Amino acid sequence: MLWRVESNSIAEKALSCGYAGAMLGMYRPARPAVVAVVVALLIAVLPVMAAAASGRTPGSSVISVYEPGGLSTETELAVLGVAAEHGARSVSVHRGTLQLTGVYRAGEVVQETDPGFFIPMSSLAVDPGRSAPLIGDEVATALAEGTVVFGETSAALRGARVGDEVEFIGWDGLPHRFTIGAVAPDSNVWWSELVFSEDSAASFGFLRKSSMFVWGFRSQDEIVIDLWTRLPDVRLRMSSPDDPADPDGVLPTVIVKQRFGEFSYRPTGVGEKIEIEPAWKEANIVDVTFPLLGPFRCHRAVVPYLRTAILEVISQGLWTHIDPQDFQAAGGCYNPRLIRGGDKGGAVSRHTWGIAVDINPSDNPYGGRIGMDPNIAAILQSWGFAWGGGWTYTDGGHFEWNHIPDHLTEG
């Protein structure tokens, strides 16, 4: 039996935002990363969240270079070379999912999963010295000392604090314990839940370079042009810190947990399929029957938005563009599994939370053509769903809830 924590501030925030029915603070038992057959980079300009905390200013913006499935040596060397030519600094980032089994304080259980079950934790590893201008001196020092750093939202979810010990299964398949050396603002650790130094991560096989951050360059335009020239087979997407939120952006895993509940799971041994602990599933996943789509299972908190969107699709005469048989056979909503396709680092699919839905998947292959009617996509977007058709690596039939519709919050 897991220890449970009730967070009034989290629950009140969730209810005030309309997340009634989500079982928050429950402890029993990415948009997925992009996949490409050619090298694909995502370059985005991000604000520096931790510069003030570190006492150093790396520059007004940071370029994030992302390569699906893990950063190749060729790409890493090319980015390092371009950064050096522009007088910039850079750091490589390892990302993946670790399996939490418990949190302990002075030998007592703070949180613990049932035997064989794990809580998925979005995790990150960096070189603390190179990344200090971005993550801040407190985080860098804790990492350099060989401790683990918690993001503040994840720490609150499980009642963890500095000095506690966290136990998890490493990528070497063995259990490991680390002392919590710091609890950091989520933005300082890029909304990850657990953060390690590269050396610590290597001790349990957690080595998956997925991106690089570059900062301190003389000219943003010039360095982007050089990156594009050095790596011509790329897809580039630029964004500014002042840009509005991306309506098709996906929520960080820790925010999904905060809003829709946290579960533990265990592998089934059948492909990516996983088994979710019964208490969470019983509290959150409901059977529904919609006009057009028929019967399926979904998270109770997103049912009203999805039902209203489908009714609007029908009322506008767009129902002929949805194949209910394909939805029943290959689509659906609740589907407990890891993310499919390529090296995802063990990430759990949003379908496991029952907050994503696949419509006409056979006509919208992952990474392939988009057969989705844009008017249907626009309706679902208007009811709070991100659409995979706008992602760097397209998923035209995938819709994933990410916000309360604007028209319900205005005024």
Handedness of CA 365, 370, 375, 381 (dihedral sign): positive
Segment 258-272 mean pLDDT: 95
Whole-number pLDDT of residue 55: 38
* Residue 60: both structure tokens together: 């007004």
Whole-number pLDDT of residue 345: 84
**Average pLDDT taken over every residue of the chain:** 85
Based on the domain organization, do 46 and 156 belong to the same domain? Answer: yes
* Residue 83: both structure tokens together: 């950064």
Whole-number pLDDT of residue 244: 67
Give yes or no for a contact between 81 and 71, defined as CB atoms under 8 angstroms apart.
no
Is residue 17 assigned to a domain?
Answer: no
Final residue before a domain boundary, out of 204, 230, 256: 230
Is residue 18 assigned to a domain?
Answer: no
Whole-number pLDDT of residue 48: 46
Is residue 331 assigned to a domain?
Answer: yes
Segment 234-245 mean pLDDT: 59
Alpha-carbon separation of residue 79 from 125, 210, 261 (angstroms):
19, 13, 39
Residue 10 above 90 pLDDT? no
Based on the domain organization, do 47 and 178 belong to the same domain? Answer: yes
Is residue 125 assigned to a domain?
Answer: yes
pLDDT band at 195 (very low <50, low <70, confident <90, very high): very high
Based on the domain organization, do 218 and 288 belong to the same domain? Answer: no
| CATH code of 356's domain | 3.30.1380
- Of 7-11, 196-200, 395-399, least confident by mean pLDDT is 7-11
Based on the domain organization, do 68 and 171 belong to the same domain? Answer: yes
Whole-number pLDDT of residue 247: 78
Final residue before a domain boundary, out of 197, 230, 263: 230
- Of 53-67, 115-129, 137-151, 225-239, least confident by mean pLDDT is 53-67
Segment 362-375 mean pLDDT: 93
Q: Name which residue leads in pLDDT, 3 or 234.
A: 234
Based on the domain organization, do 49 and 196 belong to the same domain? Answer: yes
pLDDT band at 296 (very low <50, low <70, confident <90, very high): very high
Residue 177 above 90 pLDDT? yes
- Judging by beta carbons within 10 Å of its beta carbon (0-12, 13-18, 19+), is residue 77 exposed, middle or buried? exposed
Give yes or no for a contact between 337 and 356, defined as CB atoms under 8 angstroms apart.
no
Q: How do strand 89-105 and strand 165-169 relate by DSSP bridges? A: antiparallel
Based on the domain organization, do 191 and 43 belong to the same domain? Answer: yes
Whole-number pLDDT of residue 50: 41
Is residue 154 assigned to a domain?
Answer: yes
Residue 171 above 50 pLDDT? yes
pLDDT band at 342 (very low <50, low <70, confident <90, very high): low
Domain that holds residue 85: 32-230
pLDDT in tens, 351-363: 999 999 999 999 9
Give yes or no for a contact between 340 and 33, defined as CB atoms under 8 angstroms apart.
no
Whole-number pLDDT of residue 340: 76
Based on the domain organization, do 87 and 192 belong to the same domain? Answer: yes
User: For residue 337, which phi and psi values (nearest 5 degrees)?
Assistant: -165, 170
Whole-number pLDDT of residue 239: 53
Whole-number pLDDT of residue 392: 73
Count the domains in the chain.
2
Cα–Cα distance measured from residue 50 to residue 290, given in angstroms and rounded to the nearest whole number: 46
pLDDT in tens, 42-101: 555 554 444 434 333 444 588 888 877 778 899 999 999 999 999 999 999 999 999 999
Residue 407 above 90 pLDDT? no
Whole-number pLDDT of residue 179: 98
Whole-number pLDDT of residue 46: 53
One-letter identity of residue 368: G
Give yes or no for a contact between 218 and 164, defined as CB atoms under 8 angstroms apart.
no
Based on the domain organization, do 136 and 69 belong to the same domain? Answer: yes
Is residue 265 assigned to a domain?
Answer: no
Residue 260 above 70 pLDDT? yes
Based on the domain organization, do 329 and 197 belong to the same domain? Answer: no
Is residue 14 assigned to a domain?
Answer: no
Final residue before a domain boundary, out of 187, 207, 230: 230
Whole-number pLDDT of residue 3: 32
Closest listed residue to residue 372, CA positions, set 302, 303, 323, 314: 323
pLDDT band at 167 (very low <50, low <70, confident <90, very high): very high
Closest listed residue to residue 100, CA positions, set 276, 271, 258, 265: 265
Segment 335-345 mean pLDDT: 79
pLDDT in tens, 59-73: 458 888 887 777 889
Exposure class string for 231-250: b at 16+ Cβ within 10 A, else e: beebeeeebeeeeeeeebeb
Based on the domain organization, do 76 and 213 belong to the same domain? Answer: yes
3-state secondary structure of 293: coil
Based on the domain organization, do 288 and 220 belong to the same domain? Answer: no
Based on the domain organization, do 295 and 218 belong to the same domain? Answer: no
